[in-house]
Structure 1
Amino acid sequence: MAGLSLVELMIALALGLVVSGAAIGVFLANQQTYRSTESIGRIQESARVAFELMAREVREAAGNACSRNLPVANVLENQGQWWNQWQNGLLGYDNGALPASVGGTDAIEVVSASSGGAPVAEMTANSAQFKVSHAHDFVPNDILVVCDYTQASVFQATNVNAANVTIVHNTGTGTVGNCTKALGLPMPASCPGGQPGNSAETYKIYGPGSQVVKLRASRWYVADNGRSGRSLYRVRMAQGADQPAEEITDGVEDLQLEYLVEGQSSYVAAAPGLDWSRVVAVRLRLTLAGAERVGTDGQPLVRELQHVVNLRNRTA
């Protein structure tokens, strides 16, 4: 029997190359699809983490352990700090106004009452102390909120006795200081935000079942992460020096924030004169980029996602 001719052999080799090329092309296409899908998956994961953690804190802005929209007696002496912004709950920074953030990105500070705490057991009339019903983690100089279903008060604990669970809120001591030991409304004129012409101290008795919790605050922004990219960061704010920034998730290229004010129909950017105490919702818009260059022209995949958060303390 005659063997293959040279022409037949060349045809067979050519067909083999075509089949091999097709197989390699399918493999490369599948690999590119896999890399693109993986990049999108990571973007979606970063978005879920960012939105969930940010929304959890923004949702609780200006919140307390008792009820919503309570009148507040803030007797803290040192004004102009985050602990005096609890009634507002939020403070936004637009277009890189926060020094730690990347230029062109927004940032936000959120203040609320923390979870946990302890219920009031007894409060002595016309005094600067009260007792709670069980052990707690309060320490001197903590900024605390005490509330019932009629009012809330913000003060600094000037002394804490863990043995008999007594909390003291006197004047004249503390890193921030209290302008009065009375926790009621109206506040005297000597207090920042006090009633003009009022020299009387109004004592508020918080009865058993009232709640005492710590005041907490955090700052969210986008910054360079030192790995040739950007990340979303959170800083837990404290008296004196803030805690070190926590990297929440990487790949966040931009954060844009808009706010809905009660009675309005359009969201607006942070601006001087915005009444933060009337903000009822925040629209978060994140621009995220994948880590690998699997997009068009070898660029990373980029997605813009948004999420709207209602403030529980201000909406029914």
Structure 2
Amino acid sequence: MKCVSAQRGLSLVEVMVALALAMILTLGLTQIFVANSQSFRMAEASSRVQETGRLATGFLAREIRNADYWGCLRDLTNLNSTLNDDSAFNVDALMRGLDVEDGVGAGGSDRLALGGVNGNSDIEVTFQPSQQAANLRVNESESFNDGDIVIVTNCKNGDVFEITDVKDANEVVVHNAGSSTGGVGNSTQKLSTNYNDDPNGARVFRPRSQRFYLQDNGGRRELVTDGVNVFGNLSGTGTYSSAVALLEDVQDFQVQLGVDSNGDDRVDSWEDSDGTAAQADSAIAIRYSLLIRSPDDNVTDGGVSYCYPGWLDCESDLTLLTQVAATDTFFYRVYTTTTSLRNRIGGG
């Protein structure tokens, strides 16, 4: 009969070797997981930043291209205002196609204002009793309200006034002189011309003045828009409406004007805004740079460097690199675009 040898367990050395191998394997798997997780966060941050940059530049480019459109009226020197100049609202601002204010937004960012009218109009003037009359008969008055600010033009002349009454039964809008409750009011009812004299007739448009700038909101910075209220059925006609957020995590917004100094439809110089109407009125293009930040922190290993605004030559002058604080581990990207004002090129 054979004797079965005694069973023996693992030695201490074998156990330690096995534990060491298991630990090495666990650390390797953990490192792979952390690396993949970091790569995923970076990819997601890059995607979110790219989407915000694409939407912001696309939206602003569309608005800039359409700015300074006043229907068929090409020369704004023939656009007259009957609105009260002593109102709380700056009437001249409503009649500007472009304005840039330097450093007035959050973090020293710029503010861009674009004006004009809201596209083509189907509202035609069918009869005007006289140049001094306070009535205009139109083909459709139901879309108007008391207190609306409108522009009437026959392509050669134009007038901005506030509607003081709407008579839908007769398809008539009234623009009497006097103050307006909650609005701007008219200083006179007399218009600059008789709109019956033009065989092509005249049309009524709604003006608009839209501003774009940055503001801080609960620790995040966002691109917002507001505009002049030209609707009488809303409160505060002639004042700026409350800001509406467009996109979050836009950290900076800088604007330069492409000035055409000799009228040849070419940009002669790129200039920061000096706040004058003369400079803004001679601009035919705008270039703007947006600094976009990732929504979440802990994306990068440390503070990153970026060249901002995008038109700086940071490769030649490294001192122009803007350094983000080392404690900031957000992901940043700069988007810079140039857009022409098509209504100012080639006569409009």
Q: Which TM class, normalised by the smaller chain length?
A: 0.7 to 0.9
CA distance in 1: counterparts of 2:145 and 2:179, whole angstroms: 14
CA contact (8 A) 1:71 1:150 kept: no
CA distance in 2: counterparts of 1:266 and 1:8, whole angstroms: 78
Match of 1:122 among 112, 119, 126: 126
Write out per-residue CA displacement over residues 112-170 of structure 1, whole angstroms, 9 at most, x where no aligned residue. 10136433151225244332223542222222122344343322223222233212234
Q: C-alpha displacement at 1:286, in angstroms?
A: 1.0
CA contact (8 A) 1:87 1:277 kept: no
1:262 equivalent to 2:253? Answer: no
1:283 equivalent to 2:292? Answer: no
Q: C-alpha displacement at 1:173, in angstroms?
A: 5.3
Q: C-alpha displacement at 1:171, in angstroms?
A: 3.4
Q: Could you state the TM-score of these two structures normalised by the residue count of structure 1?
A: 0.81
Write out per-residue CA displacement over residues 72-95 of structure 1, whole angstroms, 9 at most, x where no aligned residue. 322224348454235531221111
CA distance in 2: counterparts of 1:132 and 1:26, whole angstroms: 73
- Match of 1:167, SS? strand
Match of 1:31 among 32, 37, 43: 37
Match of 2:345 in 1: 315
Match of 2:170 among 161, 164, 172: 164
Are residues 46 and 304 of structure 1, via their aligned partners in 2, closer, same or farther at CA, if it must alter by over 3 Å?
Answer: same
CA distance in 1: counterparts of 2:90 and 2:63, whole angstroms: 15
Match of 2:46 in 1: 40
Q: Which amino acid aligns with 1:221?
A: Y
Match of 2:329 in 1: 299
CA contact (8 A) 1:107 1:220 kept: yes
Q: C-alpha displacement at 1:214, in angstroms?
A: 0.9
CA contact (8 A) 2:195 2:202 kept: no
Match of 1:244 in 2: 242
Match of 1:213 in 2: 205
CA contact (8 A) 1:216 1:237 kept: yes
CA distance in 1: counterparts of 2:226 and 2:244, whole angstroms: 6
Task: Single out whichever of 2-11 and 217-226 deviates more from structure 2.
Answer: 2-11
CA distance in 2: counterparts of 1:44 and 1:69, whole angstroms: 40
Larger RCO: 1 or 2 (CA < 8 Å, sep 6+): 1
* Structure 1 unaligned blocks of 5 or more: 185-202
1:273 equivalent to 2:276? Answer: yes
Alignment of 1:218-237 (within 5 A): 218-226=210-218, 228-237=219-228
CA distance in 2: counterparts of 1:63 and 1:128, whole angstroms: 26
Match of 1:188 in 2: none
CA contact (8 A) 2:101 2:112 kept: yes
CA distance in 2: counterparts of 1:207 and 1:169, whole angstroms: 23
Are residues 122 and 240 of structure 1, via their aligned partners in 2, closer, same or farther at CA, if it must alter by over 3 Å?
Answer: closer
Q: C-alpha displacement at 1:11, in angstroms?
A: 3.5
Match of 1:84 in 2: 92
CA contact (8 A) 1:61 1:90 kept: yes
Are residues 165 and 123 of structure 1, via their aligned partners in 2, closer, same or farther at CA, if it must alter by over 3 Å?
Answer: same
1:133 equivalent to 2:139? Answer: yes
CA contact (8 A) 2:223 2:246 kept: yes
1:112 equivalent to 2:116? Answer: yes
Q: C-alpha displacement at 1:274, in angstroms?
A: 4.8
Q: C-alpha displacement at 1:314, in angstroms?
A: 0.5
Q: C-alpha displacement at 1:60, in angstroms?
A: 2.2
Percent of paired sites with the same residue: 28
Are residues 50 and 162 of structure 1, via their aligned partners in 2, closer, same or farther at CA, if it must alter by over 3 Å?
Answer: farther
1:93 equivalent to 2:98? Answer: no
- Match of 1:85, SS? helix
Are residues 87 and 243 of structure 1, via their aligned partners in 2, closer, same or farther at CA, if it must alter by over 3 Å?
Answer: closer
CA distance in 2: counterparts of 1:88 and 1:74, whole angstroms: 12
Q: C-alpha displacement at 1:181, in angstroms?
A: 1.7
CA distance in 2: counterparts of 1:79 and 1:92, whole angstroms: 22
CA distance in 1: counterparts of 2:285 and 2:257, whole angstroms: 6
Q: Which amino acid aligns with 2:250?
A: V
Q: C-alpha displacement at 1:222, in angstroms?
A: 1.0
CA contact (8 A) 1:287 1:302 kept: yes
Write out per-residue CA displacement over residues 20-41 of structure 1, whole angstroms, 9 at most, x where no aligned residue. 3222212111111111111122
CA distance in 2: counterparts of 1:18 and 1:60, whole angstroms: 63
Q: Which has the larger radius of gyration?
A: 2
1:183 equivalent to 2:192? Answer: yes
